[in-house]
A and B are shown apart, each in its own frame.
Chain A
Amino acid sequence: MILLVDPAFRAGSLSMDEFVLPVGRIVERNERTWRYRHYADMEGGIPEETEGVIICGTALKDNGFLSAIDWFDWLKETEIPVLGICAGMQVLCLACGGTVREGFEIGMTEVHVTAPHPLLPPLPSFHAYELHSHSCEPPPGWEILAVSSACIQAIRDPHHPRFGVMFHPEVRNDRIVEVFLEMCIE
């Protein structure tokens, strides 16, 4: 089971339809199951049968999660693969010791691969859908995999299977989510 974590302002909001359900569709198409969890409902930690965690995006104006990072402490302890998408990458970054500052992109953008990795399309670049008002400075020691002209686009923890992407792979880059699912052992 893949756990889809929603960092939006409210559980089950319209944001869920836009940023969580499309990721759920990709999970289903790959014959895997998923479960929805709002970040404020994670007190019990990660459910036992979780094979991978995807922290999804939020609406452009929804940045409340930035001041609720304590709610994501469970991230530091888990060995389960984690993919953070947009807001999810910001959460991952802050929870693991990185920083977030203003940085804004909307729409299709060219993303340059700086360190080839199976998660991403091959060198030199690909197009991806952006919708964010903050950008990330990764935690110390993390590897930068891709950048756009505005900010860092993809990062990886060298010691754990943790990845962050600033763009939305569920729009026109499904393959990235699929490669991540392959890393989540059933």
Chain B
Amino acid sequence: MDSLRLGVLCSGGKDSLFACYRAMQEDEVACLVTLVPENPESYLFHTPNLHMVPLQARAAGLPLVSEVTTGIEEKEINDLSRALAIAAERHGIEGVVTGALMSVYQSTRIQRVCHDLNLWCFNPLWYSDPGTYMERLITSGFRVIVSGVFSAPFDASWLGRELDRDALSILMQYARDFRITLTGEGGEYETLVLDAPFFHRRIVIEESESWYRNHRGVLDVKRARLEER
């Protein structure tokens, strides 16, 4: 069978962009797909850097399908369905790739939407070993920073910190001692990808604001540009 044309559901974080990288090794990624909340303010604490996805799409040279979502749980699924239908029409995608790690809730919803739209659905990070995945992320040439923290024991110094080998060894310690998930799967921290092996240019943050209080905080990127690698 020939390679499939795929759309990657992208939130700007490490999991969706690593899934994209893996999908590119096997098939053809035709576009990124993202859902943008109607009221971005209310979402800042859930997906701190969703507004960076268009810049990531440009960095990767991929078209982006961006659709607005109400953010109301029951309606979100219709918004997702609409976005994927547009991606199928505009870019001829035959399947969808997600960065789902272990969330049965998330994958069930996406599998159902794909089934209804007659699209393939792939989750290349599904139940992968957290340590091996984080290691691969670093060795494959991703540059990832922490863009939000939502749990003890993260302090303000984590905001904007690069996920390198040193950070990974501390995260492993946290995973042991504080029972956080190593990958942030439990929502303990969020990430932003600044560079990936398939980016043609990398993202440079020019201005950002951090808020932090009592183990919760975000790094809100105000201004960023693309730079030659």
**Residues in B neighbouring A64, C-beta threshold 8 A:** 1
B1 touches A18 (CB 8 A): no
B111 touches A106 (CB 8 A): yes
A126–chain B nearest beta-carbon distance, Å: 14
**Residues in B neighbouring A60, C-beta threshold 8 A:** 111, 114-115, 120-121
The SS class assigned to the A binding surface is mixed
A15 touches B122 (CB 8 A): yes
B123–chain A nearest beta-carbon distance, Å: 5
A9-B1, A12-B26, A25-B129 given as contacts; is B124 within 8 A of A172 (CB)?
A: no
Contact string, B138-150, partner A, CB cutoff 8 A, digits 1/0? 0000000000000
Contact of B126 among A18, A104, A107, A108 (CB under 8 A): A18
Contact string, A84-117, partner B, CB cutoff 8 A, digits 1/0? 0000000000000000000010111000000000
Q: How many Å lie between the Cα of A120 and that of B126 in the bound state?
A: 23
Indicate the size class of the contact surface on chain A: 20 to 34
A60-B114, A60-B115 given as contacts; is B108 within 8 A of A14 (CB)?
A: no
Q: How many Å lie between the Cα of A95 and that of B112 in the bound state?
A: 29
B104 touches A14 (CB 8 A): no
Interface status of B180 (Cβ within 8 A of chain A):
no
Q: A107-145: which residues lie under 8 A (CB-CB) from chain B?
A: 107-108, 129, 131, 133
Contact string, A7-32, partner B, CB cutoff 8 A, digits 1/0? 00110111101100110010000000
Q: How many Å lie between the Cα of A9 and that of B119 in the bound state?
A: 15
Interface status of A159 (Cβ within 8 A of chain B):
no
Contact of A22 among B104, B122, B126 (CB under 8 A): B126
Indicate the size class of the contact surface on chain B: 20 to 34
A59 touches B120 (CB 8 A): yes
Interface status of A170 (Cβ within 8 A of chain B):
yes
B122 touches A18 (CB 8 A): yes
B98–chain A nearest beta-carbon distance, Å: 10
Nearest-CB residue, chain B, relative to A15: B122
Interface status of B88 (Cβ within 8 A of chain A):
no
Q: B200-223: which residues lie under 8 A (CB-CB) from chain A?
A: none
Interface status of B27 (Cβ within 8 A of chain A):
yes
Nearest-CB residue, chain B, relative to A22: B127
Interface status of B125 (Cβ within 8 A of chain A):
yes
Q: How many Å lie between the Cα of A131 and that of B108 in the bound state?
A: 9
Q: A1-56: which residues lie under 8 A (CB-CB) from chain B?
A: 9-10, 12-15, 17-18, 21-22, 25
A171-B104, A172-B104 given as contacts; is B128 within 8 A of A22 (CB)?
A: yes
Contact of B112 among A14, A61, A106, A170 (CB under 8 A): A106
A14 touches B129 (CB 8 A): no
Interface status of B22 (Cβ within 8 A of chain A):
yes
A34–chain B nearest beta-carbon distance, Å: 14
Q: How many Å lie between the Cα of A183 and that of B197 in the bound state?
A: 43
Interface status of B163 (Cβ within 8 A of chain A):
no
Give A residues with C-beta under 8 Å from B.
9-10, 12-15, 17-18, 21-22, 25, 59-62, 64, 104, 106-108, 129, 131, 133, 170-172
Q: What 9 pairs across the A-B complex have the smallest Cβ distances?
A: A22-B127, A107-B108, A17-B124, A14-B122, A18-B126, A61-B120, A14-B124, A9-B1, A106-B111
A-B contact pairs, 19 of them (CB 8 A): A9-B1, A14-B23, A14-B26, A14-B27, A14-B122, A17-B128, A18-B124, A22-B126, A25-B127, A60-B115, A60-B121, A61-B95, A61-B114, A61-B115, A61-B120, A62-B120, A107-B104, A108-B104, A170-B127
Give B residues with C-beta under 8 Å from A.
1, 22-23, 26-27, 95, 97, 104, 108, 111-112, 114-115, 118-129
With A14-B122, A129-B104 given, name 17 new contacts (CB 8 A).
Answer: A10-B1, A14-B26, A14-B27, A14-B97, A14-B124, A15-B122, A17-B123, A22-B127, A25-B129, A59-B120, A61-B95, A61-B114, A61-B119, A61-B120, A106-B111, A107-B108, A170-B127
